[in-house]
Amino acid sequence: MKALNTPKHLSMLILSAKGWGTGSALRAFYIAEAFEKRGHRVTFIKPLPTLPLWIDMALSMPYYFWKTFLTRHQVVFAVKPYPTVIPAMLWQKILGAKTVIDIDDLDFAYSHGLFKKIHAAIQKPWPRRADWVTYHNPKLRDSILDFFQVDPARTIQVSQGVNEAIFNKRPVKPEDLPSKAAALLNAKKRKPILVFTAHLNVACDLDPALHAFKKVHHDMPDVQLLVAGGGPDEGRFKKMAQELQVGPSVHFTGMLTTTQVAACVKSADVSLVYYADVPANHHRASMKLREALACGKPVVATSVGESAQLKDQVTLSDANPTSFAKAILKTLRSKKAAARSSQWVHRWQWEKCVQPLEKELLKK
């Protein structure tokens, strides 16, 4: 794709504090790709694979530092304010780089007790030391100002985007489908397929979605649930599906590439986006919701946070399994085609999303 005109080119280093396969790592990758398409010289260091017990994050601190020690950049952009990325970022700052920390979630809000306090403490010091702090959802900005005590003048919105080169209405390519998805799509007797895409960790609300699926399965025994993605909690969710007696109809793919995730969404009849009605979810800007809409798929979502603003594009339910199950059944039985607003999808192009930050970075 031809780079769009920019006043000058920046040398940029982009890092993700969390491991590959997480939503934050994808956000970092897409932002790096967008700046590159805008004509800048971008170095994106692919994160280590996600490992249990945060081992990847412990290893990432020296990994990022040594990978960047002999380099020099004008801008360092890091997604999530974990110590993982701080040594590399501060070293580049000493060398003259402008620094940006992107807060895409209040991670500590998913924790409890002492761990929540520790989680918050290790993140809190860093955003106010950056030159700019970015966020995707305006509601998240209030928490950034309150908890991280960031100067409002140094905050910039970098909206959540969607990669239309991968997530689009073009037919699914059989070679892109993981084996579990291919088996469902090519079954002799085609059964309705629901898809739930996620990195299966503490921030994933698959628990209530599985309870909702049990209710759907009771009324529509042929329906199948494809869980596209892996993560540290995959074993727990598999056990839950067995305990709910829907195990044979719930299919876990394990970790996937982005292209495989898109293929799973395209192969399904309905995409599910469940966020529990808790404070941590009120500021979400859902990447998977955008991806499903870009693929032209019907979406059933809980009316929590940003999802409520998309009532004309998705089927909304209350954030409880019973209401969610009713919305799924209504969507499966409906003959109405999925709404795909080209206006919304056009607005979510990553190259558009990064331009407010680019404008600030180019001022001096």
Per residue in 157-203, pLDDT (tens digit) is: 999 999 999 999 999 999 999 999 999 999 989 899 999 999 998 88
- Same domain? For 337 and 222 the reply is yes
Q: What is the pLDDT of residues 330-362, one digit of tens each?
A: 999 986 655 555 667 778 999 999 999 999 999
In a domain, 229, yes or no: yes
Bridge partners of 157, per DSSP, are 135
- Same domain? For 152 and 192 the reply is no
In a domain, 1, yes or no: no
Residues 6 or more apart whose Cβ sits within 8 Å of residue 342: none
- Same domain? For 149 and 182 the reply is no
Work out the widest C-alpha separation in the chain, in whole angstroms: 63
Bridge partners of 349, per DSSP, are 162
- Residue 279 · residue 248 · CB < 8 Å: no
| pLDDT number for residue 1 | 38
- Same domain? For 180 and 209 the reply is yes
- Same domain? For 296 and 354 the reply is no
- Same domain? For 145 and 187 the reply is no
State the Cα–Cα distance between residues 198 and 307, nearest whole angstrom: 16
- Residue 229 · residue 253 · CB < 8 Å: yes
Residue stretches of the chain with pLDDT short of 50 = 1-6
- Same domain? For 124 and 232 the reply is no
Domain hosting 28: range is 11-161+349-361
CATH number (domain holding residue 243): 3.40.50.2000
- Same domain? For 309 and 239 the reply is yes
Find tokens 């929540």 and name the residue: 116
How many separate domains does the chain show? 2
- Same domain? For 30 and 139 the reply is yes
Alpha carbon 281 to its chain centroid, in Å, reads 13
| pLDDT number for residue 337 | 57
In a domain, 5, yes or no: no
Q: Does the CA dihedral 344-346-350-351 come out positive or negative?
A: negative
| pLDDT number for residue 320 | 97
In a domain, 338, yes or no: yes
In a domain, 6, yes or no: no
| pLDDT number for residue 252 | 98
- Same domain? For 207 and 317 the reply is yes
Torsion of CA 317, 322, 326, 331, to 10 degrees: 60
| pLDDT number for residue 338 | 56
| pLDDT number for residue 7 | 52
Q: CA–CA distance from 267 to each of 87, 177, 259, 263 (Å)?
A: 43, 8, 12, 6
